[in-house]
């Protein structure tokens, strides 16, 4: 029964996360439901999520959706930011973020709904000093945020890439997967070092996360921005609502 529950939860999480982010809304509660304590659930989920992001990244790579100049520019900032973020957890409580982040995610969703053309057409016209600078700032902040707190990182990465570089949602999703993999791997190393990964559940989770991620990324590539954008909006609203509900309850 546990294997069935984990398998179903991780498959759905991988599928959704590879398209629009937000898979952690399903995968982490699934691991908590089968009895893992929170610290082990987070570490085990990070193992599976990293594998899922790797598979999704490979699918997007095979279909020429990755911008390697962008990734070369941003990956170092994402990794360093995540390492600093994980380290900061020892000294700073993330209470203020728990209040601010859901409203920021909600704002992203509403803006995306109102701006009907945002992310629908890939209008990237090359790198400029301005977008390179903003990209480094974005990646440093979100790398730190993912290591320190985490929920909604993929949402902010996708939205940031759409706004700063004028990518459509397909290209933004593709490059977000690689950046998520970078920040997730940095956090995973810390969880592994601290012994906060359950490998029994982690192996099962990883297999099904990979299967879901592979299917989701294939569908995202096949159907493009018109498929990704509404899922992005829905998952952003669900994520923000869940976080706000958690605060008030």
Q: Is the pLDDT of residue 97 over 80?
A: no
In angstroms, the CA 175 to CA 182 distance is 11
DSSP H helices in 149-198: 153-165, 169-193
3-state secondary structure of 117: coil
Please state, in angstroms and rounded to a whole number, the distance separating the CA atoms of residues 66 and 108: 23
* Cα 129 off chain centre by: 26
pLDDT at 149: 77
Q: What is the rounded CA–CA span in Å between residue 56 and residue 50? A: 10
pLDDT by residue (tens digit) across 187-203? 899 889 889 999 999 99
> Structural domain tally of the chain?
1
Contacts of 151 (CB under 8 A, 6+ apart): 24, 101, 239, 243
Q: Residue 168 is inside which H or E element, if any?
A: none
In 3D space, the residue among 238, 246, 218, 200 whose CA is nearest the CA of residue 19 turns out to be 218
Using CA atoms, how far residue 41 sits from 59, 101, 135, 204, in Å, is 27, 22, 31, 13
Cα 228 off chain centre by:
14
For residue 128, what is the enclosing H or E element?
none
pLDDT at 180: 92
Provide the b/e sequence for 54-90 (b: ≥16 CB within 10 Å): bbbbbbbeeeebbbeebbebbbebbbbbbbebbeeee
Q: What is the pTM of this model?
A: 0.90
Statement: residue 165 has pLDDT above 90: yes
At residue 101, the pLDDT reads 84
The residue-averaged pLDDT of 51-80 equals 96
Residue 141: per-residue pLDDT: 95
DSSP secondary structure code for residue 64 in this structure: T
Mean pLDDT (the chain) is: 91
> Domain range for residue 235?
2-248
């Amino acid at each position: 029964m546990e294997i069935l529950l984990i398998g179903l939860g991780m498959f759905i999480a991988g599928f959704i996360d590879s398209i629009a982010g937000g898979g952690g809304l399903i995968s982490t509660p699934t691991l908590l439901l089968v009895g893992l304590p929170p610290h082990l659930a987070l570490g085990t989920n990070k193992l599976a999520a990293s594998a899922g992001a790797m598979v999704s990244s490979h699918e997007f790579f095979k279909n020429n959706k990755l911008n390697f100049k962008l990734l070369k520019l941003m990956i170092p900032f994402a990794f360093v930011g995540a390492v600093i973020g994980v380290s900061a957890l020892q000294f700073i409580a993330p209470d203020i973020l728990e209040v601010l982040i859901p409203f920021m995610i909600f704002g992203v969703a509403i803006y995306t709904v109102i701006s009907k053309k945002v992310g629908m057409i890939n209008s990237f016209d090359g790198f400029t000093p301005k977008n390179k600078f903003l990209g480094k700032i974005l990646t440093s902040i979100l790398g730190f945020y993912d290591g320190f707190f985490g929920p909604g990182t993929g949402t902010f990465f996708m939205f940031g890439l759409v706004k700063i570089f004028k990518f459509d949602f397909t290209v933004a999703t593709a490059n977000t997967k690689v950046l998520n993999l970078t920040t997730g791997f940095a956090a995973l190393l810390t969880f592994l070092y601290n012994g906060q990964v359950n490998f029994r559940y982690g192996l099962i989770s990883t297999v099904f996360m990979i299967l879901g991620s592979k299917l989701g990324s294939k569908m995202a590539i096949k159907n493009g921005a018109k498929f990704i954008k509404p899922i992005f909006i829905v998952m952003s609203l669900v994520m923000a609502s869940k976080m706000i509900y958690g605060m008030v309850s």
